[in-house]
Amino acid sequence: MAGDLRIHFTSEDLAKLRLATAPDPLWELVLSAYSLRDPGPALDVVAWRGQARRELASRPLSGGERMLAELTRPGAFPDFLTPLAALDGFDAGLDAVRSTPDHQLREEIAHIGTQRALPAWARDLGDHMSALTDGLRTYFDAVIQPHWRTVRARCWRPRTWSTGRSTWTAGACC
């Protein structure tokens, strides 16, 4: 069908497949930053988007929140913002972001820099990680944490897959 995504997995692929059982707080954070820029009518987030925009407009943004906005402009964003460790919770994810090796920061920022201009601070992002992670915390606490129970409740949904020989159903976070 048009619009469907069909992915074919080998037996080896299926053996490695992991499904998240809870929302990833840093993915939710990054995707929310994109959603706030989107004028589209995504009905499932309209109320949240309005509340979040009012919250952010009600106060000056921290330097780290402005950094987040710059790093999540439309297009690619650096992978270090969504570490796997965040599946263990927001604090674990922040620790992983904070401890991203300098060489990884440079590589990911250089990649983003091939797609769009970045501010001067991005070249020395390792020197600004404390401000960035403080901004991630402030943003999360202000616009995501108040809705975290809803995010978690909507996350767990049954999904059915067919392997060609059998069909299995599991809960999956989407």
124: Cβ–Cβ under 8 A, 6 or more apart, which residues?
none
For the CA atoms of 41, 56, 31, 76, the dihedral, rounded to the nearest 10 degrees, stands at 110
Is the distance from CB of 85 to CB of 93 less than 8 angstroms? yes
0.85 exceeded by pTM:
no
Is the distance from CB of 169 to CB of 160 less than 8 angstroms? yes
Sequence-ordered strand ranges (E) for the chain? 156-162, 167-173
Phi, psi for 73 (deg, rounded to 5):
-60, 160
Is the distance from CB of 136 to CB of 97 less than 8 angstroms? yes
Per-residue pLDDT of the chain (174 residues; tens, 9 = 90+): 456 778 888 888 888 877 677 889 999 999 999 888 877 766 677 888 889 999 999 999 999 999 999 999 988 899 999 999 998 999 999 999 999 999 999 999 999 999 999 999 999 999 999 999 999 999 999 999 999 988 888 776 655 555 555 555 555 555
Phi, psi for 17 (deg, rounded to 5):
-65, 130
